[in-house]
């Protein structure tokens, strides 16, 4: 359990974590708007832009387990502050990147590493440890919903900056938003103390990180959860980066991509909150199966129906409800099965699979478009993967792991 001072109550930690997620996710969600302006201005192929954001997602996932473990050992606030500084620096260097290699290093490596320190997994770990067991899924849903609210609020600001100042200055202005993350780090400071745990927990936590990792690696349900989260990353990253360009290609106005992503973010708030709330009442694994199957149906209808403002609105609303609603359920399952002591690190490993899916969704979108002039192969892949994820989650053994050894 996280040791807090008198003012750092669970509510304060929840608010700080929510604001941190709002900024981190809002900045990330706005990056897809820059694809057409940058590739047009710099005469790049779309794959160059897509590969940078694909690397970003992969680096985020690759560094996430280490960032989460460092937060649990040396304090969440320090890691979040470091992530915020790196985020601001990466956005600034994106503003002066005029060749693909520089953009891959700034948008890909730097911002990806930054997100591992200040985005979802580290924050969810802190909030999960602070919240009582019977309200944990709700708290995780609030933080996830705040990240969704960032997409709704920051993306329109990014579009406004683009229209007024162009892509280079807009990146610099967005970098200033990342500084807010430093303030969020203050209430989230502190580390996990192994001698303290929530007495209401149904099981003891593992005695060490090595023991926790050993339990997870031998748990079939943990592997199924990890494989299923790959699909979530594939879906949301492809849509988040390539939907604006897809709509432009189909003759929709340029601003359609911005408001469609904002609409996804708006309904994402509702979906994430509902998932967190319902996750305290119903079996999370079954809800995940329903969510992934419904995603496949929504995508299928969208790509088969004639494109129009109405179809984009309906798709954005439906996909928004399903967007990050998987996160409180997936992270909640990790805590439910293995306890809260090493929840952040164990969820970070699951999250790495999500980011591998994100990498493939973004990169394949750009690569296949440059090769065939269409995004349709990736849309169809998303339909099939959603059905596969629905099947994978159903047999997960979601019972709490029983331990006979006492916690340290």
Is residue 146 scored above 70 in pLDDT?
yes
Q: How confident is the model at residue 408 (pLDDT cuts 50, 70, 90)?
A: very low
Task: Look at residues 295, 317, 319, 288 and name the one whose alpha carbon lies nearest to residue 382.
Answer: 295
Residue-by-residue DSSP string for 22-45: HHHHHHHHHGGGGHHHHHHHHT--
pLDDT tens by residue, 165-214: 999 999 999 999 899 998 888 888 765 444 344 444 444 566 677 888 88
Tell me which DSSP letter residue 196 carries.
-
- Total length of the chain: 408
Alpha helices for 324-375 (secondary structure H): 326-338, 343-372
Task: Retrieve residue 298's tokens.
Answer: 């929504």
Is residue 152 scored above 90 in pLDDT?
no
Residue-by-residue DSSP string for 86-102: HHHHHHHHHHT--SHHH
Residue-by-residue DSSP string for 226-291: HHHHHHHHHHHHHHHHHHHHHHHHTT--THHHHHHHHHHHHHHHHHHHHHHHHHTTS-HHHHHHHH
Element (H, E) at 330: helix 326-338
pLDDT tens by residue, 83-142: 999 999 999 999 999 899 999 999 999 999 999 988 777 887 788 777 777 777 788 778
Task: Look at residues 365, 377, 381, 379 and name the one whose alpha carbon lies nearest to residue 45.
Answer: 365
Q: Which residues pair with 2 in a beta bridge?
A: 192
Show the CA angle centred on residue 346, arms to residues 289 and 212, nearest 5°.
Answer: 120
pLDDT tens by residue, 8-40: 778 888 888 889 989 998 898 888 889 889 999
For the ranges 145-159, 243-257, 301-315, the one whose mean pLDDT is highest: 301-315
Task: Look at residues 300, 259, 258 and name the one whose alpha carbon lies nearest to residue 385.
Answer: 300
Distance CA 336, CA 377 (A): 37
User: Given this model, what pLDDT does residue 200 score?
Assistant: 46
Question: What are the contacts of 93-102 at 24+ separation with CB within 8 A?
Answer: 94/171, 95/167, 95/168, 95/169, 95/170, 95/171, 95/172, 95/175, 96/168, 98/42, 100/44, 100/48, 100/51, 100/52
Give the pLDDT mean for 400-406: 64
User: Given this model, what pLDDT does residue 203 score?
Assistant: 46
Q: How confident is the model at residue 277 (pLDDT cuts 50, 70, 90)?
A: confident
Beta carbons of 279 and 326 less than 8 angstroms apart: no
Element (H, E) at 401: none
pLDDT tens by residue, 351-397: 889 989 988 998 999 899 989 999 999 999 999 999 999 999 999 99
Beta carbons of 198 and 130 less than 8 angstroms apart: no
Tell me which DSSP letter residue 329 carries.
H
Give the pLDDT mean for 304-330: 93
Is residue 2 scored above 60 in pLDDT?
no
CATH number for region 10-393: 1.20.1250.20
223: CB partners within 8 A, 6+ apart:
none
Residue showing tokens 């620096």: 89
pLDDT tens by residue, 40-93: 999 998 889 989 988 998 899 899 889 988 887 888 888 999 999 999 999 999
Distance CA 325, CA 275 (A): 5
Distance CA 260, CA 143 (A): 22
Phi and psi at residue 209, in whole multiples of 5°?
A: -65, -40
Kindly report the pTM of this predicted structure. Answer: 0.77
């Amino acid at each position: 359990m996280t040791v807090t001072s008198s003012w750092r109550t669970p509510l304060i930690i929840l608010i700080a974590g929510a604001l941190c997620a709002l900024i981190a996710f809002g900045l990330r969600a706005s990056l897809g708007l820059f694809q057409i302006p940058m590739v047009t201005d710099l005469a790049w192929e779309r794959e160059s832009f897509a590969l940078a954001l694909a690397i970003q997602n992969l680096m985020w996932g690759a560094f996430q387990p280490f960032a989460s473990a460092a937060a649990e050992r040396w304090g969440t606030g320090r890691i979040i502050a470091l992530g915020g500084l790196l985020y601001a620096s990466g956005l600034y260097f994106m503003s002066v990147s005029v060749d693909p290699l520089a953009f891959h290093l700034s948008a890909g490596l730097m911002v990806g590493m930054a997100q591992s320190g200040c985005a979802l997994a580290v924050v969810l770990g802190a909030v999960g440890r602070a919240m009582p067991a019977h309200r944990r899924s709700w708290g995780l849903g609030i933080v996830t919903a705040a990240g969704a609210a960032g997409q709704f609020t920051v993306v329109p600001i990014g579009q406004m900056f683009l229209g007024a100042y162009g892509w280079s200055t807009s990146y610099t202005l967005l970098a200033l938003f990342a500084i807010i993350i430093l303030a969020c780090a203050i209430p989230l400071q502190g580390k996990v103390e192994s001698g303290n745990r929530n007495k209401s927990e149904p099981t003891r936590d593992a005695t060490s990180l090595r023991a926790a990792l050993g339990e997870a690696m031998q748990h079939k349900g943990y592997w199924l959860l990890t494989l299923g989260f790959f699909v979530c990353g594939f879906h949301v990253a492809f849509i988040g980066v390539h939907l604006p360009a897809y709509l432009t290609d189909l003759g929709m106005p340029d601003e359609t991509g911005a408001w469609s992503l904002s609409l996804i973010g708006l309904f994402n708030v509702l979906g994430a909150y509902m998932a967190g709330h319902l996750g305290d009442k119903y079996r999370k694994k079954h809800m995940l199966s329903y969510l992934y199957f419904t995603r496949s149906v929504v995508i299928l209808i969208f790509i088969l129906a004639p494109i129009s403002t109405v179809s984009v609105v309906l798709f954005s609303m439906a996909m928004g409800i399903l967007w990050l609603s998987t996160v409180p359920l997936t992270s909640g399952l990790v805590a439910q099965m293995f306890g809260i002591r090493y929840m952040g690190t164990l969820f970070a490993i699951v999250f790495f699979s999500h980011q591998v899916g994100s990498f493939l969704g973004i990169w394949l979108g750009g690569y296949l478009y440059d090769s065939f002039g269409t995004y349709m192969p990736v849309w169809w892949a998303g339909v099939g993967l959603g059905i596969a994820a629905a099947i994978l989650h159903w047999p997960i053994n979601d019972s709490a792991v029983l331990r006979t050894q006492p916690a340290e």
